[in-house]
């Protein structure tokens, strides 16, 4: 059996590079030579409590070149430079591992041409692909006040997506100065520390005290404060989209959002809405 090099979590807080089986394309599959892969915060968080080593590599922010195709796959895809959509359309029939390896197998339907983008930029397509949380939430034609909790990678792309899809004003939180700078570059009108009252004060001033029309929670992790904060800063009958992956159960007061008649939507990365995949949006 052919082998390749892959990086796997070792079950003891680290990673190890070792030889693993090289995937082979089945019906409808392609094999992608990985050219660039990003490290998501979730790659770190999901392994905090692991005590056993992984058998397959992780890695879901992937760009590469199609080097092998299976039956029922268009031969023209050979050699195509693609961004790989990992979660929705691209999963093969059996688990085959992600992009922390020399090669990976995915469904051909989940590979999207990236033209002449650099490999580094192509790997980042996965994050802007998370325009998905904004699509079901929508925006009024006149523009809305959108609050974005967190200015990490997903928070930053949520800011850009909110502006691109018609938000009237985007107010965000950021923990670090470099995050705040990037948030403003990507379209945030105002950015405030993630703790303290300045964030709510700015939303109240922009909305006559009502609260944000839409709040996007992008932090998640091993805390619960941002879930409560989302309810607090969102107006009566406003919408909350939870994008952050909360890794542990926590207590949550449902009475407040019920009395405020808020809608809470959970968003898992990206998908097809109205016949178009998030990766296909211009």
- Count of domains observed in the chain: 2
Residue 231 counted as domain residue:
yes
Which of 76, 110, 126 marks a domain boundary?
126
pLDDT tens track for 223-279: 999 999 999 999 999 999 998 888 889 999 999 999 999 999 988 766 555 666 555
The reply to whether 282 falls in a domain is no
Query: Do 121 and 210 fall within a single domain?
Result: no
Tell me, yes or no, whether 102 and 199 share the same domain: no
Q: Same structural domain for residues 173 and 265?
A: yes
209 and 230 in one domain?
A: yes
Domain boundary among 78, 96, 126: 126
pTM: 0.71
Q: Is residue 18 part of a domain?
A: yes
Residue ranges in the chain modelled with pLDDT below 70: 89-93, 127-142, 269-282
Q: Is 108 within 8 Å of 77 (Cβ atoms)?
A: yes
Q: What is the pLDDT of residue 129?
A: 46
Same domain, 13 and 72: yes
**Can you give the pLDDT at residue 101?**
96
The dihedral sign for the CA sequence 28, 33, 35, 38 = positive
**CATH code: domain of residue 134:** 3.40.50.720
Cα(4)–Cα(251) distance, rounded to whole angstroms? Answer: 44
Task: For CA atoms 170, 60, 278, 128, give the dihedral sign.
Answer: positive
Distance CA 11, CA 127 (A): 27
The C-alpha torsion from 217 through 222 and 60 to 163, rounded to 10°, is: 10
Got the DSSP string for 21-62? EPP---TTEEEEEEEEEE--HHHHHTTTT--S--SS----EE
Q: Which of 85, 106, 126 is the last residue of a domain?
A: 126
Give residue 140's pLDDT. 47
Within a domain: 64: yes
The Cα–Cα gap between 62 and 120 comes to 9
124-145 CB burial, b ≥16 within 10 A, e <16: bbbbbbbbbbbbebebeeeebb
Q: Quick count: other Cβ atoms within 10 Å of Cβ 78? A: 13
Q: Which residue range is the domain that position 23 belongs to? A: 3-126
Is 143 part of a structural domain of the chain? yes
Q: Are residues 76 and 7 in the same domain?
A: yes
- Tokens 């691109």 belong to which residue? 164
Interior angle at CA 45, CA 39 and CA 46, nearest 5: 95
Same domain, 251 and 139: yes
Same domain for 106 and 137: no
- Do 56 and 39 share a domain, yes or no? yes
Question: Residue 225 corresponds to which tokens in the numbers above?
Answer: 């404060």
| Shared-domain flag, residues 162 and 55 | no
CATH number of the domain enclosing 116: 3.90.180.10
137 and 265, same domain (yes or no) = yes
User: Buried b / exposed e across 6-29, counting CB within 10 Å, b at 16+?
Assistant: bbbbeeeeebeeeebebbebbebb
Note whether 13 and 104 are same-domain residues.
Answer: yes
Q: What is the pLDDT of residue 106?
A: 92
């Amino acid at each position: 059996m052919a082998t390749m090099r892959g990086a796997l979590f070792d079950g003891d807080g680290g990673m190890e590079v070792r030889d693993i089986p090289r995937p082979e394309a089945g019906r409808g599959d392609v094999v992608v030579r990985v050219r660039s892969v990003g490290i998501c915060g979730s790659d770190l968080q999901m392994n905090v409590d692991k005590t056993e080593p992984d058998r397959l590599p992780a890695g879901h922010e992937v760009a590469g070149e199609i080097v092998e195709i299976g039956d029922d796959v268009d031969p023209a895809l050979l050699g195509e430079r693609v961004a790989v959509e990992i979660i929705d359309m691209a999963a093969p029939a059996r688990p085959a591992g992600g992009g922390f390896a020399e090669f990976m197998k995915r469904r051909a339907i989940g590979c999207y041409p990236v033209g002449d983008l650099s490999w580094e930029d192509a790997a980042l397509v996965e994050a802007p692909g998370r325009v998905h949380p904004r699509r079901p939430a929508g925006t009024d034609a006149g523009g809305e006040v959108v609050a974005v909790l967190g200015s990490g990678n997903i928070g930053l792309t949520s800011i850009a997506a909110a502006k691109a899809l018609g938000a009237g004003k985007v107010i965000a939180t950021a923990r670090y100065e470099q995050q705040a700078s990037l948030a403003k570059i990507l379209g945030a009108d105002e950015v405030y520390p993630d703790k303290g009252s300045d964030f709510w004060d700015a939303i109240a001033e922009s909305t006559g005290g009502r609260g944000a029309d839409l709040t996007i929670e992008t932090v998640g992790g091993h805390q619960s404060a941002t879930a409560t904060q989302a309810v607090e800063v969102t107006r009566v009958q406003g919408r909350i989209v939870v994008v952050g992956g909360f890794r542990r159960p926590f207590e949550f007061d449902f009475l407040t959002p019920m009395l405020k008649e808020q809608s809470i939507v959970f968003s898992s990365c990206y998908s097809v809405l109205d016949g178009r995949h998030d990766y296909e949006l211009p």
